Every structure is written in C-alpha cells, then in structure tokens.
Amino acid sequence: MFGLEGKVAFVTGCGSQSAGWGNGKAIAVLFARRGAAVYGVDVNREAAEETRRIVEGEGGTFVVGVGDVTDRAAVDALVADCVARLGRVDILVNNVGHSLPGDPATMTEEAWDSQIDVNLKSAFLCCKAVLPRMEAQGKGVIVSIASTAAIRYTGKPQAGYAAAKAGLVQFSRVVAIDYARRGVRLNCVLPGLMDTPLVEKIAQDFASRETGMDRDAFYRRRHGQVPMGRMGEAWDVANAALFLASDESKYITGTEILVDGGLCAAARG
C-alpha cells in the first residue's frame, strides 16, 4: 500500500534549516522510500544536498533543484529541468512556508507581501507550471502543506500567515473542482503544533529573550496545548502527504487532513 513506484514527485522546501527533520525533508525521503523519483527544490543548496545524500544513501533517486519558488521564471525553469531529467511530474508537493508575527497595525507592508508570496503565491506558481503537464498526462496529484492557522486562531497574532494559509486551502478546493474531470486531484495537509528544527530555533530564540521561560518550559507549554499531550513530528505530516499522493486516496479531492493531535477538535468544543 501507498506505493509511489514509477512516479516523479516535485517537492518544494525539501531541506531543513538545521539538523533534524522538517516537513519537506521528511516528505522527500518518505516518497523516495516508497519508490518515487524525487526532484527536491530548496532555496538553500546545502539543505537540499543533505536530503539528496540521505535518499541516495538508501538507494533512491533524488535530483536537486535550487531556486526561489516565489519567482515565476525560477519555477518555470525548475519544472522544465525536472521534466528534462526525470521525464514528467506526477506529484507536486507545495511545502514552502514561513510565519511572521503581527496584525495589520503592526506588520509592515513588506512583511505582509512576503507572507502572501511565500505561503500562497509559491503554490500558485508551481500549480501554474505543472497543471498543463498533468492535464496532458491525464493524471496528477497536488498536495499542499497548509496549517491549522488557516481555520482557527492559534493564540498569537499572525494575520499574514493565517490569511495566506487560508487562501491556500480555498485555492486548493477551487482548483480541485476545476480539474476533477481532468484527472488531477488537489488536497491539503493542515499541521498543528509540530516539533521541527524551526520550532527548536524559535524555542532557543524565545529562551534568549527576557521572557522568564527557558527552552524546556517553552516545549512543555507547546506539548500541553495539544489534547494528545505532545507535539507532532515531521513524519506525521509526511505520512498524511503520502496517503494523499498515493492511489489509495484516488477518490479524495478538494479536502484537507488535519494533523494536529486533536487541537482543532478541542477548540470547537
């Protein structure tokens, strides 16, 4: 089950900012383990190369693409390179994302624009590049990594991030209906509180400020917010993405999978 043999997966944000497993890195490695040839994109070459070394060390196929997926010319070139080297694009994973704090009164216009570009425009550009190819093939799958911030207040002001991720969810729903009869499925994964290298960096930064809370206290608070009593990990996100990318989900489109340990259900009461 959940095999991806013979498929080519185009995964954005395939590297981790530091040691450990981020969502994109775990997705790329898991897809390769399930038989996909992976074209991994990251703006940081060394991060992508680290993922490539893991995949190739396990006998898988991985091609590195370096570029900014908020830039149309870069995206078009990356997709063309993927097709030239691997033959096609069967699966697109829109994984690039980043959160900046602030409400409309406190955010700069530049911060707002960057949140829309990284979290939403990147997915639009990647879809724009791959959808005609998938339609010509008569089959394709797009999985976008959104966030529970798309559907609930997370307890902190992040208006740009929440708006962009909500836009990504609705974008995926609408395009899923448009392409339902063309053989292309689109779905989203909505992670909640996850334990990733980025969160570790936030914890270290948080502890370095005058907050009265050290790194361990920061982690205890995050674990305690989740009904299951712990944060999730990148592999939880990767497994959900694998299901949506596989033929086992062939009758699923235009929807979302929550990967949040019950966080949203608890908020709804």
Judge contact between 61 and 55, C-beta under 8 A. Answer: yes
pLDDT at 154: 85
pLDDT at 135: 98
Note if 161 is an active site residue: yes
pLDDT at 42 over 60: yes
d(CA 83, CA 133): 10
Give the β-pairing of 37-42 and 256-259: unpaired
Structure tokens at 57: 């060390």
The Cβ of residue 54 has, within 10 Å, a number of other Cβ atoms equal to 17
Q: What average pLDDT score do residues 61-82 get?
A: 98
pLDDT tens-place string over residues 79-124: 999 999 999 999 999 999 999 999 999 999 999 999 999 999 999 9
Backbone φ and ψ for 8, nearest 5 degrees, come out as -110, 125
H helix or E strand, kind and range, residue 232: strand 232-233
Q: Which of 39, 153, 161, 179 is catalytic?
A: 161
Please name the residues in contact with 153: beta carbons below 8 A apart, sequence gap of 6 or more: 162
pLDDT tens-place string over residues 147-195: 999 999 988 889 999 999 999 999 999 999 999 999 999 999 999 999 9
Residue in 115, 125, 218 with CA at minimum distance from that of residue 159: 115
The Cβ of residue 222 has, within 10 Å, a number of other Cβ atoms equal to 17
Predicted TM-score of the model (pTM): 0.95
From residue 87, give the alpha-carbon distance in Å to each of 103, 125, 133, 202, 257.
44, 20, 11, 39, 30
pLDDT tens-place string over residues 255-265: 999 999 999 99
pLDDT at 17: 75
First to last CA, the chain: 35
- Name all domains of the chain by residue range, CATH numbers in brackets: 8-193+233-259 (3.40.50.720)
pLDDT at 11 over 90: yes
Q: Please give the mean pLDDT across all residues of the chain.
A: 94
pLDDT at 199: 77
CA atoms within 13 A on the CB side of 117: 11
